[in-house]
Structure 1
């Protein structure tokens, strides 16, 4: 799945909720869904994952982790992929506890 994403802005979200009922939260964007999909995969090592981030999403690993961290606080992501989001929330909380 090649999804070239150059920038994240208001325009990227403008059509995300098209067709959703009034008052309903807009659906996750294609980029957000792609970030969750990358995170669901198993990786042989950090180099493979970072290469896939660049190739599949067209963004830097730093930007990827910024987007991923924001998704962990987004209830829409929890509804979309509760297993992945809850797992990553536990990992994040464990890391915060060690600091």
Structure 2
């Protein structure tokens, strides 16, 4: 690797802490209605609407796929199935 080739572990290739937190919330299981939305507000300090906007963008981000392929691929399958039903 040359000095002009920063490699895959450089800051511009890393997800932000917020992006990692969004993926972490998505990995959790939720006990009942409203629990996830409450956790989004408490843990991330954002609205559920903003959370889902960020999550949807992450699903198309190669860095998110590299960070958490199981979660990202699962969510992509769900998203694709919903789109196919429309």
Same fold (TM over 0.5): yes
Counting helix residues as a fraction of each chain, which structure ranks higher?
Answer: 2
Q: 1:40 aligns with which of 16, 27, 30?
A: 27
Q: Which has the larger radius of gyration?
A: 2
Q: 1:62 aligns with which of 17, 39, 49?
A: 49
| Structure 1 residues 23-34: aligned runs within 5 Å | 24=8, 25-34=12-21
Structure 2: gaps of 5 or more residues: none
Matched, 1:87 2:71: no
Using structure 1 for the length normalisation, give the TM-score. 0.75
**Aligned alpha-carbon RMSD (Å):** 1.3
CA displacement at 1:23 relative to structure 2 = 6.0
Partner of 1:22: 6
**Displaced runs of 4 or more, over 4 A:** none
CA displacement at 1:46 relative to structure 2 = 3.4
Partner of 2:62: 75
Structure 1: gaps of 5 or more residues: 1-20
Aligned length: 79
CA displacement at 1:44 relative to structure 2 = 1.5
Q: Deviations over 1:5-29 (max 9, x none)?
A: xxxxxxxxxxxxxxxx626452000
Task: Write the distance in 2 (CA, Å) between the matches of 1:46 and 1:93.
Answer: 24
Task: Write the distance in 1 (CA, Å) between the matches of 2:33 and 2:65.
Answer: 25
